[in-house]
Structure 1
């Protein structure tokens, strides 16, 4: 069901490129061995690209957001800002970004920040706090607040990994639609396919996006801008188990009239088992998809909730 190959920015060291400060890499096997087959990468290493070389002296993030040499007076803040400005026109063509955790240039969360000499800050060489965001990633997230961005360490969590990949492919499908000569009917069809998926994340976002679709005969540019924003923000909400149960029961309701009693009971039992944490999400989804296809119900079978990304990734086996 996935028609568009996501374009994903990535810190080059995570794909095995030897661009870290010590000449090494931080290869993330999920990215290189599993996800790579289904996406297009756009690699970057801000520190190398501003001319620091490999290997290079270590840099630090200061409490005022500046990026400086660990030992010495060099301040690389302006160079990183200029790199971000040069790179930003291409960010609109991306569907997500994976950055290196704790990197002073790329980290998303918890980057150590050191004293910038502000009043009350410690001066013993230890971090002031661990609440920083890498200088390059700070510019990226400020310019593209709705772009899915994640860091490598958090991708070890099955729930965060599945949620991030789901957002990548949803973002890519919408980009594919809006980059062409779409019509109001195309947007209606797109929303119809994604309705249950959006609902599982954010019911209010589902209602709001539906209202935008209903007004799709107005300005195409404004409609696209509004829908893109609401769609992205709704999917940024991580669905709870209860929201998944609601979505599964909704699919069941669409199928139930075409099923005999044993099939209905089997599906309800499987959904209840998922709700209790006894089986993974992939099991009730597979059963619902099977019945939708075998009963020739294209509206149900075509719901992206049932196939949000390539099945070969097997991400719902761990939810």
Structure 2
């Protein structure tokens, strides 16, 4: 089969090329899916550069989310799936290819009113947002939530999940006024703040009458650490999913007041999705099915796509993702 490969195993955008590789084999509860579309994620950029440690069960081929049709299914596959079914799902890797072998525990049936391109943009971002909000953040109706990197795919999903499940207030941050406006006008955030031009943590405190926000989902790391401690509410939860501002605090960054840990009884927890075992990921799939799938079908939740590329233009797709100018998913289609 054809697949996107990387010369010498890692490198810049120009190192990606179309290659012929072996068709994946299925066993136990796996299905062989003919891929119609796959979504790009920031981890793909890191994996391409050799900076993302792969879980042992992941193939070398990039890509963790896809949609397509089942070509074959192993004997232990979940009941309810059969050859010919249109599905979408999450995998440990291998989606940048004509076929992918994936556990049926991580598949969902494609709704008829959604396209393959839309469905390929759901699994990674919406499951990550579901995990951060419900499993780690312990969200309950009436709590308030702040999503950093508000125009990123996961935060686009998270703001909708928060609002759709009766958060009292939903806040977001971004690094441009355009993205701030997008969070409020398109996603329905209560308020959003430009981290380059405002003291966003003070604005969150003002908007919550000094109480602070109950849950913060952060992808930035050191640059937002001090502000998070400042504007989190007592008994709050800070969920860290990435560290886009680097791995260490630097002198020019605001310095955190560690007394907030004790005064506010905080819990900060880091998490990743790809390293989780199949059982855990299956629970997240079920949670997504319960909390979001009906709202995709009735149109309440938006699957925002920035651009669709034919997969022969994978280099251009990676360039667009590296530009940090997107407000939605980048999807590639296979014809």
State if a TM-score over 0.5 links the two structures: no
Q: Larger % of strand: which? A: 2
Q: Larger % of helix: which? A: 1
TM-score by length of 2: 0.29
TM-score by length of 1: 0.30
